[in-house]
Structures are given as structure tokens and as C-alpha cells.
């Protein structure tokens, strides 16, 4: 099993990625609130704020005491609910490692929109398997899967320091994240993802959405696939210095 711990991927545009930090803080705050509730009230909160396919698609109606928000609003509220400490910690670890670089590539506002849209795509991908399911879906995993997909296309060669057995090893992001995505497909093939447990297809849907959306949300001058800003064959910028060789021939710094 590979457990990402941190990356060495510098940011270039934004000195502080406050949207990433705010999302982590919101998820932690909501879970802290969940933890203060008595067992029955905590279960009611999951049913009231989790996304239940049968309720969202109108096949079922929640009792009035659990209808805290409109059914469609649970597509958003469910992203901030979690089923346990390990669920929360795992999600927040991935968001902390990867979210700052994706936010740096998109900017604050577009990153927030990207996060929400990826989360919506993830929830709907899960619900499409069984629109009559009465099992509530909770967690930020789907939205964070979108961040994983975006990071994979933006920084595939960045090193992610990963715990492998008892050793911390720098591994290219494309290996770590492709392994994670492949694992979701393997688990989805073994388990329908509906009726409890882990919503594997939500993870897959979020990751696919992230990869599709990233070209439209990133800044124009941010390259995909870890490319350099000035593509091969383009004219050298006028301000770029030349290096004078002893022979008198000028060459470009990268020659």
C-alpha cells in the first residue's frame, strides 16, 4: 500500500492557498460537531445532510424532522460530512498534499468552483448506479478525487514522498496517483459501491471529472503534463539573455 505524505512541488502564483486551508478547516469543524452529538443525533445528522439517492431523485421523502435542507442541497452538504476519524484524516491528507498546487494553477475562485463541480460529478456518478438507494453518501472523497485527477495532469513528474512499508520514498506523482485511480477501478469491479461501504464510483467519477475540467479551469499559461511554459519551437522571449561563447557565437541558455 502506498501512503502519500508530502510533495516537493513549489507554488509560483499564490503565496497562500487559503481555499485549500478553508476547505480542510470546514471539514474538520463539521466532523468535530458530529463528534459532539449523541449516537442517535449523529445518525440523524448523516441522514439529514448526507446525499441519499432515493431522496434526491424523488423516490423517497425524509421524515419532516430530518428534512434540514432541500434534498438537492445535500449534494453539497454531504461533501463536508465524514463517517469517522480515519475517513476524515485520509481525505484531508490528500487535500493538504495536492490541493495547494491545484489551487495555485487555477486561482482561488476557480479552484473552489472546480472543487464543488468535481464533488457534484462524483456524487452523481455514484447515484447513477442505483437511484433508489436509501444509503446516505458522505465525505469529501469525490471532490478530492477531482483534485487528484487535476494534479495528475498538471504535475505528473512531481515527486510525492510516499510511505512504502516502513520507508519514505520519493515517487513520481503519475505512479502514485495512477496507482490510486487503478485501485478504485479494481475495488469497483469487486464491489458495486452501492448499499454501504466505500463509494468507489464516486471516486472514479470525481477523478475523471477533474481530468476533464482542469484544462478549462487552469490559468492559460500553466502547462499540462509538467511541461515548460515556453513550448518547444516557440520564439525566445525578447528579455531572455543570450550567453556569449568564446567563439563569438551567441547561443540560447538551454542549448
Q: How far is the CA of 218 from the CAs of 34, 105, 114, 178, in angstroms?
A: 35, 5, 10, 21
pLDDT band with cut points at 50, 70 and 90 for residue 192? low
CATH architecture type of domain 2-251:
Up-down Bundle (1.20)
Q: Residue 239 pLDDT more than 50? A: no
Sheet (strand 167-172) strand order: 2-7, 159-164, 167-172
Among 160, 212, 19, residue whose Cα is nearest residue 100: 19
Residue-level pLDDT at 230? 34
Distance CA 76, CA 85 (A): 20
Question: What's the Rg (C-alpha) of the chain?
Answer: 21
Parse the chain into domains and list their residue ranges. Answer: 2-251
| Model pTM score | 0.85
Residue-level pLDDT at 66? 93
- pLDDT > 90 in the chain, percent: 71
pLDDT band with cut points at 50, 70 and 90 for residue 226? confident
- Summarised one tens digit per residue, pLDDT across range 98-140 is 999 999 999 999 999 999 999 999 999 999 988 999 999 999 9
Mean pLDDT, range 227-244, rounded to an integer: 43
To which H or E segment does residue 162 belong? Answer: strand 159-164
The 3-state DSSP class for residue 37 equals: coil
Q: Would you give the distance in Å from CA 195 to the centre of its chain?
A: 23
Q: Residue 48 pLDDT more than 90? A: yes
- pLDDT > 70 in the chain, percent: 86
Amino acid at each position: 500500500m502506498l501512503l502519500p505524505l508530502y510533495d516537493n512541488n513549489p507554488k509560483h502564483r499564490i503565496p497562500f492557498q487559503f481555499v485549500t486551508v478553508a476547505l480542510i478547516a470546514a471539514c474538520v469543524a463539521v466532523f468535530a460537531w458530529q463528534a459532539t452529538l449523541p449516537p442517535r443525533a449523529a445518525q440523524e445528522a448523516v441522514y439529514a445532510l448526507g446525499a441519499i439517492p432515493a431522496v434526491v431523485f424523488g423516490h423517497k421523502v425524509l421524515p419532516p424532522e430530518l428534512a434540514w435542507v432541500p434534498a438537492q442541497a445535500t449534494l453539497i452538504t454531504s461533501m463536508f460530512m465524514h463517517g469517522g476519524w480515519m475517513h476524515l484524516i485520509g481525505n484531508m491528507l490528500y487535500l493538504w498534499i495536492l490541493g495547494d498546487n491545484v489551487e495555485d494553477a487555477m486561482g482561488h475562485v476557480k479552484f473552489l468552483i472546480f472543487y464543488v463541480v468535481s464533488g457534484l460529478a462524483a456524487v452523481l456518478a455514484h447515484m447513477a448506479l442505483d437511484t433508489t438507494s436509501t444509503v446516505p453518501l458522505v465525505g469529501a472523497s469525490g471532490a478530492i478525487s477531482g483534485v487528484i485527477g487535476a494534479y495528475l495532469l498538471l504535475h505528473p513528474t512531481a515527486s510525492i514522498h510516499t510511505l512504502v512499508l516502513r520507508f519514505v520514498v520519493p515517487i513520481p506523482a503519475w505512479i502514485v496517483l495512477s496507482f490510486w485511480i487503478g485501485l478504485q477501478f479494481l475495488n469497483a469491479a469487486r464491489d458495486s459501491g452501492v448499499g454501504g461501504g466505500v463509494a468507489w464510483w464516486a471516486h472514479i467519477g470525481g477523478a475523471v471529472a477533474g481530468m476533464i475540467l482542469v484544462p478549462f479551469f487552469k490559468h492559460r499559461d500553466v502547462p499540462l503534463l509538467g511541461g515548460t511554459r515556453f513550448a518547444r519551437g516557440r520564439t525566445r522571449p525578447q528579455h531572455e539573455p543570450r550567453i556569449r561563447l568564446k567563439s563569438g557565437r551567441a547561443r540560447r541558455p538551454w542549448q
